[in-house]
Chains A and B, each alone.
Chain A
């Protein structure tokens, strides 16, 4: 009997939408030994979170567990009576949600929340201290009196993990616990998860869309697509010999740090004048200076990456360049023309040639405007003559970002995230810009969608477009950027060709970022966006 040594046995687990019986999880089966971690990967909407919650015998309102068996230590969770099921949750099966800020009670101290999980008394105090030490948090009195808002994102997530492991559950379900944390913090949380599950012989399900994260933490991996577990096996097997075409696609889409840098700076630059140049730019928020003496230049057809952790001043930098945030001092020029500080003072040509693309495609398109009108708006606002009709301009812009002409008649809510981001790119392209500022434009997208957007950007660069690509993801940098600028606390600490920065980082900050960046195993063919070679 496999059930005797397996901690968790899942058989033919199915979840459906109550209203019309549409399946969300279509018959998932797997087994986990004590201490084993199963990574669940898949894109948004693939059903991985629903599967995770179903292991606790829970389905979101509107969904229903339609059948199957979830045995934790031999007990079938799904057949328990409601009261028993409630006792099982937390004690035998625990759950750690994505956003620790939302899962911790903001009005309760860390100590009070932990005591809620383990009970009060001298024994439990000792237990709390032990668990806090285990997840790498301070166990002194002062820390216990702190409230969630006084903790960093990584600390909050570790408190959530501490609460989950306190009653020594047999299975812990972690739903994207590091999404939204920056690489260094993510690394710490992942190490905590790996250590704790091993120490307690606890089986774990780790849900993520990031293969690199899964590889780092999991022993086994399950790949989900449209509610189906299309592939499952040990990490080694799946990464080195992915059997299902979807897994192969997913692997190929992951940008990698280790692959050779795809784009090299064009040394034989015919035009020595930079497209864009910033010289000694300083900027502040109120009395707080956030940018210090930032200088760099961007050549024609070049993509310069700006890399740094959250809070390093990347976004302020891009807002300053586009003229939305006034600089305290310094100068900027576009094609050797001096740029005014504020966008209102810039010439129409300056405003046309420099375009900004935002991080979140769900917020950057006006929801009550059809795509056609969104695309023709800059034409009217900047009085761009398109030569032919506006309609033709819209069609050609959509075509350049590989969207069908029918998209023009839709509203943003009718498009997926990737499609919306393409529309945002088309809105920039219709202005015939020479310089694009891309602010984390792929970080809100699934990995395969990200790959296709990067591929599109690479093509635009080949057409001679220059861009500034702001990101915290070094693997994406490797896939797209010719040169890289590393920013720490508002200062450029290192800049050079992407290859030299990534292969021989000189500054300790860059080295730390490199070390903390997770990467999908070497030897697995995973070459960023596209094999398109950089030619000048």
Chain B
């Protein structure tokens, strides 16, 4: 007697590769988030070529309102606000992305390794991260910047390192459920080395939570770096920068509001976009995993 199942009957694919990407592109929240982020990135990327004036060029009296040829008015030194907004995003976005990448890479390596090692090694790593996590990241960054001086590379590294503990915790949590799965045990049973197991067996299965974390971290990077610039410890004048602009022109909030509100709004749109994307993706992931994928 033979009772072979027909090989043609195929179970409905709950988690086919590409399924996640399709769902992200069809979801209103994630697409809105991506559109907002993309818009701001484009603005920052091609803005300098569209700017009517040089960002450091003085075009009139300080804090004058919009007029002919100067659409958004002038800033504290009489420079064109529009030109400075168009030129002031590149560095911020490049630095934020770099800091986010540092945080994600370090955090994922530490978190996933910690989950795989488990036991005492895991415990100690997590306690050390808890200690770092206990310091607010902006205080942590300010401490080093005030000692070592403001410099974009240092800022990027600091913000990246400040992200690491939170990323590590999230990725450890995600990896914990994967490292005990039978396919990981199988890979160990034929003697595949640990690093290869982490890269080829564990990592592909935690990409979704990593993407969620990436969105959140990007939002925090932009916020932190802009805040540091605002406080005077980040990007230094006379460079055009959204965070710095808000700081330079803040005294004229009632006199020439555009000089403060516009740079803040662009930062806001970008972070809202990143947040929408992260949250939407998080929901999609939760739904797919809830469905037993």
Do A and B form a real pair? yes
Q: Cβ of B68: which chain A residues have Cβ within 8 Å of it?
A: none
Q: Which of B186-240 contact A (CB under 8 A)?
A: 186-192, 196, 200-201, 204-205
User: Which residues of B are found within 8 Å of A348, using beta-carbon distances?
Assistant: 191
Partner of A413 from B1, B16, B189 at Cβ < 8 Å: B16
Q: How far is the CB of A513 from chain B (nearest CB, A)?
A: 26
* Chain B residues with CB under 8 A of A419: 5, 7
Say how far A506's CB is from chain B's closest CB, in angstroms.
34
Query: Are the CB atoms of A358 and B5 closer together than 8 Å?
Result: no
With an 8 Å Cβ cutoff, the count of chain A residues facing the other chain is 50
Q: Are A413 and B5 neighbours in the complex by a CB distance under 8 Å?
A: no
Q: Are B17 and A415 in contact (CB under 8 A)?
A: no
A389 to B9, CA, bound (A): 28
- Among A363, A382, A451, A455, contact of B182 (Cβ-Cβ < 8 Å): A363
A119 within 8 A of B: no
- In the complex, how many residue pairs between chain A and chain B have their CB atoms under 8 Å apart? 103
B14 contacts A by Cβ under 8 Å: yes
Asked whether A367 lies within 8 Å of B4 as measured between CB atoms, the reply is no
A433 to B204, CA, bound (A): 28
Given contacts A366-B201, A413-B293, A416-B5, contact A343 B13 (CB under 8 A): no
Inter-chain CA distance A323–B15, complex, in Å, is 32
Q: Interface size of B by Cβ–Cβ distance < 8 Å? A: 32
Most buried by A among B11, B16, B196, B205: B11
Report A228 CB to chain B, min CB distance, Å. Answer: 17
User: Which one of B9, B13, B17, B192 contacts A381 once the chains associate, using CB atoms below 8 Å?
Assistant: B192
- What is the interface of chain B mostly: helix, strand, loop, or mixed? loop
Whether A414 pairs with B186 at a CB distance below 8 angstroms is no
The answer to whether B185 has its CB under 8 Å from any CB of chain A is yes
**Residues 43-93 (chain A) with a chain B CB within 8 angstroms:** none
Residues of A within 8 A of B196 (CB): 381
Alpha-carbon separation in the docked complex, A365 to B13 (Å) = 15
What is the distance, in angstroms, from A49's C-beta to the closest C-beta of chain B?
Answer: 16
Q: Are A322 and B189 in contact (CB under 8 A)?
A: yes
Interchain CB contact under 8 A, A413 and B188: no
Q: Is the CB of B17 within 8 A of A414?
A: no
Say if the beta carbon of A411 comes within 8 Å of chain B.
yes
12 contacts between A and B (CB under 8 A): A324-B189, A343-B190, A346-B191, A348-B191, A381-B187, A414-B16, A415-B10, A416-B5, A416-B10, A427-B186, A451-B1, A452-B5
Could you list which residues of chain B lie within 8 angstroms of chain A, going by C-beta atoms?
A: 1-5, 7-11, 13-17, 181-183, 185-192, 196, 200-201, 204-205, 293
A sample of 17 more A-B contacts (CB under 8 A), given A381-B196, A414-B11, is A249-B3, A253-B1, A344-B191, A351-B189, A355-B190, A356-B185, A358-B186, A377-B187, A378-B190, A381-B190, A407-B7, A411-B15, A413-B15, A418-B5, A449-B3, A451-B3, A452-B5
